[in-house]
């Protein structure tokens, strides 16, 4: 939530102004919860659709990771599903594999149970882990707010750092109409030794389903 006052007519508005300022400050703190580019990535250890447990530290020998918060039913996740698979197929060999995390509460979103995730991963032949953030602590630690939401990580001397946060590209509806492949450009920047520009982008997506 963000509140802002644009004009104050009289001192009668004072109370409202104070309340609004407090709310704006709270909103500021909320918005800034989670990670931003340059921050250390947060370690996780989550259950995969194959029954194993997958951790960030399992990837210590990689150059980085394309961490994707996504889910089964969201139309934007579906629209990007093949593009996420392609990212893994193109970049896993270059040291940037995809790891997908499903953050949704299964009571609110029954299509996101582990069984439904397994079915989806098998049906679409996911070449990457598809993990369940059952406690919903991982998405909160990263500050993911929607699906799909990308956190591109870079391994810097054994420590994963956040290099890019945001969308995969600039056209969710039609992969053929894309003019800016944000994630691919960000990986190219990292491989060439520079920082991604832009380091963050925004896109429309489905809210992460959680019990408030």
Positions in the binding site for another protein (CB under 8 A): 1-9, 16, 20, 27, 31, 74-75, 145-146, 166-167, 170-173, 177, 179-180, 182, 198, 201-208
Shortest Cβ distance from residue 127 to another protein (Å)? 27
Return the number of the residue (54 or 68) whose C-beta is nearest another protein: 68
- The residue among 15 and 93 lying less far from another protein, judged by its C-beta, is 15
Pick from 158, 179, 147, 156: which is nearest to 67 by CA? 147
Minimum CB distance to another protein, residue 208 (Å)? 8
Q: How far is the CB of 53 from another protein (least distance, A)?
A: 29
139's tokens: 């998405």
Q: How far is the CB of 14 from another protein (least distance, A)?
A: 13
Q: Residue 75 in 3-state DSSP?
A: helix
The answer to whether the beta carbons of residues 199 and 189 sit under 8 Å apart is no
- Side-chain-side CA neighbours of 80 within 13 Å: the count stands at 30
Q: 143-152 as b/e, with b when 16 or more CB fall inside 10 Å?
A: bbbbbbbbbb
On whether the CB atoms of residues 103 and 3 are closer than 8 A, the answer is no
Q: Specify the residue, 13 or 122, whose C-beta has the smaller distance to another protein.
A: 13
> Of the two residues 57 and 207, which places its CB atom closer to another protein in the complex?
207
Total residue count of the chain as it appears in this document: 212
Minimum Å gap between C-beta 202 and another protein is 4
Paired tokens of 86: 């392609």
Q: Judged by CB, which is closer to another protein: 54, or 116?
A: 116
């Amino acid at each position: 939530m963000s509140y802002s006052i644009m004009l104050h007519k009289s001192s009668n508005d004072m109370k409202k102004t104070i309340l609004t300022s407090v709310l704006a400050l709270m909103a500021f703190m909320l918005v800034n919860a989670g990670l931003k580019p340059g921050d250390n990535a947060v370690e996780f250890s989550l259950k995969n659709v194959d029954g194993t447990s997958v951790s960030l530290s399992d990837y210590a020998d990689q150059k980085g990771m394309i961490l994707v918060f996504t889910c089964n039913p969201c139309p934007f996740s579906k629209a990007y599903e093949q593009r996420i698979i392609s990212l893994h197929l193109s970049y896993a060999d270059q040291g940037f594999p995809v790891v997908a995390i499903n953050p949704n509460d299964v009571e609110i979103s029954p299509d996101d149970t582990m069984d439904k995730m397994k079915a989806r991963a098998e049906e679409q032949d996911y070449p990457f882990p598809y993990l369940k953030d059952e406690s919903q602590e991982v998405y909160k630690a990263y500050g993911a707010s929607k699906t799909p939401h990308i956190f591109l990580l870079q391994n810097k001397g054994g420590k994963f750092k956040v290099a890019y946060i945001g969308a995969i590209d600039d056209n969710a509806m039609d992969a053929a109409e894309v003019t800016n492949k944000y994630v691919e450009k960000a990986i190219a920047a990292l491989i060439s030794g520079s920082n991604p520009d832009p380091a963050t982008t925004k896109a429309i997506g489905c809210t992460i389903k959680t019990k408030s």
